[in-house]
Amino acid sequence: MHSESKSHNEPPLTYDEAVELFNRLDWTDENTFYNQDFGDSYLQLKAMRNDEVFDNKDIKVEILVDENIIKFAVTKVTREEALDLIKYYFEHSEIGDITSYTTEFI
C-alpha cells in the first residue's frame, strides 16, 4: 500500500489510527507517503530510494513553512523518529524545532 486517505465527509484519523496506517504502509517502496495536516501547515513523510538511505534514516520529512505552499523544511529520519513526529503534530498545531532541517522549494 502506497497511501490511504479518508473522504472529506469522514472524521479525521485519530492518533492510534494514524500510527496503524503508518505501520501498514510499505516504507521500502519509494512511492509511499503519509500526509498529516496540523494548524496552517502539514507534515509529509516520504519513503526514500535505497541509494538515499543512510544510518537507518529511510524517510524524508517535509514540513510546509509558508502560506504560498512552495517552501518546506526538510530532513531525513528513522521510522521511529517519524512516529515521534506524527505524535508531536497530533499534540501541537504549530511547527516545532526545525533548526536542523534544510530548506527546499518546489
In the chain, where are the structural domains located?
A: 15-105
Claim: this prediction has a pTM higher than 0.85: yes
Distances (CA, A) of 96 to 43, 71, 82, 93, 102: 11, 16, 14, 9, 14
Q: What is the pLDDT of residue 12?
A: 82
In this prediction, residues 43-53 reach a mean pLDDT of: 96
Mean pLDDT of 44-65: 96
What pLDDT sits at residue 7?
A: 45
Taking residue 59's Cβ as centre, other Cβ atoms within 10 Å add up to 25
The pLDDT of residue 95 is above 50: yes
10 φ, ψ to 5°? Answer: -90, 155
- Asked if pLDDT for residue 100 goes beyond 70, the answer is yes
- Span between the terminal Cα atoms of the chain, in Å: 26
Average pLDDT over every residue of 65-78: 94
Q: How many CB atoms lie within 10 A of CB 25?
A: 17
What is the biggest distance separating any 2 CA atoms in the chain, rounded to whole angstroms?
40
Percent of the chain scored above 70 by pLDDT? 92
Residue 69: predicted pLDDT: 87
